[in-house]
Chain A
């Protein structure tokens, strides 16, 4: 068969140009919409998981300030550091979570004064576990890792530099932790009233904190095809 005659084919082909361009524009439009929808859904999921991408916290044992701990990052004083601490090198130590091992700390410089659990960190790196204490820049920080992570357990948790004895594992998990600084003020309390108080040596800070304790309620998000619902007895906390 010889096909359509040339004028008829030309007519059909020229008519089809508009159809093809329309379809191409439709494809772009739908792709953009799909991308927007996916981004919205992703942001919504992240709002429900404020700890997404984090493996725990690094707590300053002097002030009680907690720094979110990413899976990978850099501790330093530089602008590009993931955890910025004062009075240390711009890039002091690299951190990387490794399932089954813990958080690997790799010093950026061969000569350093950092100590992990009262021992110097080797240039090749050492692993920090839940409860490990990192001494850096003249201060001590404790690693608090989330429950559910694949991290080996340890028998005892080293003491902070000012503690006489190391904490036993059960002490750590029962929520007893020595604090050198007072916990955050309750709403309405002024600094003056705080100054007048005498702070207990041991303060229950819920250690380690359940992941959802300080989560704010959000809309439903699908989890594995279903929708996550906050528990009925759930009450929001602004902190711990």
Chain B
């Protein structure tokens, strides 16, 4: 974002309706049962939006537009979760605060990249080790063995490894080490397949393909990659029973609407019940969907806020993607370009996969809606990805300043 005073009023104009939105919504929830916590949140959440979107960028360089969009999605997630289950809503606020810290680390990592790029081999090894842990010590949940518990904290390593995956791929491809990048991505994919976490594997694969195509411009490699994806899908379908079940549910969920198709059927009913304008905040009944706080949070949003609001949420993701691509195109180095493109694509692709699954456009996969769904690991990793993107944006800003300074030196001489 061009950091000039002329932009400040425009940024404030963007944040004001967000604050008003959150104030109105939490106030309404407070009026439902005169819960003091809702009234407190009606003040604190808009205030938090103001501080994180307008004041934090004064302390560390950030793209305010991107930050505003990400904060709005997080706030919608907190609101929806608080409405469904206040305890989860409060947990999400804590995770959001932690995520902001990770975002700051992401920014710093990119800003000090020249000094920290020596850590890339370590990051790559850490990513592979993290991804391998659930294969040996993981707990199975919804058919996937993707979770581990360390020191009493349960988390999904593949979510954290996303950040490492992006950094390592961008680094290797920027140095034209295509084969090494493919080996690294292949190792991650094999480990994800062993975890049977096919939704995440699909996203990792898609990102790898996008980055390889962007870095090399090779249609042959990309074509082979796409063919490999098709072959992998067929292989996954024939190997894993839960994949077969999910495809069958996708084709016709009503065949077993009380059993395996229960989730998707309830999701479709909730969305249809919401209609264009929604049932009204606090009046929905989407909590009958089993995974309403994670995989199906988009259905809950459509149920209570309506299809029009759902389209706005999709538009926010589209804006984040467009902004990310714009940041990538403004970058001066290949590493930054690839990293920004990867980050933007990761958020967009994950949103597409889960929203598509919710509305029965594609088979359902167990991934979260980035920045919105309940879950500490997911929120923290999504904010970490936003941090990497913000880091690239801030480096771009520095580069433009440097160009302006060189131009001034040229004028003086």
Contacts and interface: CB of A to CB of B under 8 A. Distances in A.
Same complex: yes
A53 B399 contact: yes
A1 to B, nearest CB: 4
A35 B65 contact: yes
A2 B27 CA distance: 15
Interface in B1-34: 1-2, 4-7, 10-11, 13-14, 17-18, 20-21, 24-25, 28, 31-34
A94 B69 CA distance: 37
B280 A28 contact: no
A51 B170 CA distance: 26
Nearest to A70: B332
B221 interface: no
Contacts of B257: none
A49 B410 CA distance: 11
Majority DSSP secondary structure for residues of B touching A: helix
A49 B72 contact: no
Interface stretch (A130-138, A145-153, A159-167, A192-200): A145-153
A70 B333 CA distance: 9
A213 B413 CA distance: 10
B181 to A, nearest CB: 16
A27 B305 contact: no
A47 B32 CA distance: 56
A21 B281 contact: no
Given A17-B278, A26-B17, A72-B334, A210 B31 contact: no
A210 B412 CA distance: 9
Interface in A8-51: 9-10, 12-14, 16-21, 23-28, 30-35, 37-39, 41-42, 45, 48-49, 51
B328 to A, nearest CB: 13
Nearest to A215: B407
A222 interface: yes
Interface in B298-327: 305-306, 308-309, 312-313, 315-316, 319, 322-323, 326
Interface residues of A, number: 60
Contact of A3 (B34, B216, B401): B34
A185 interface: no
Contacts of B322: 35
A201 interface: no
5 contacts: A14-B283, A20-B21, A21-B305, A34-B11, A213-B410
Interface of A: 1-4, 9-10, 12-14, 16-21, 23-28, 30-35, 37-39, 41-42, 45, 48-49, 51-53, 70-72, 79-80, 94, 96, 108, 146-149, 210-213, 222-225, 228, 231
Interface of B: 1-2, 4-7, 10-11, 13-14, 17-18, 20-21, 24-25, 28, 31-35, 65, 68-69, 72, 174, 176, 216-217, 277-278, 280-283, 305-306, 308-309, 312-313, 315-316, 319, 322-323, 326, 330, 332-334, 399-401, 403-411, 413
Which 5 pairs across A and B sit closest by C-beta, in order of nearness?
A211-B410, A13-B280, A148-B409, A3-B33, A24-B312
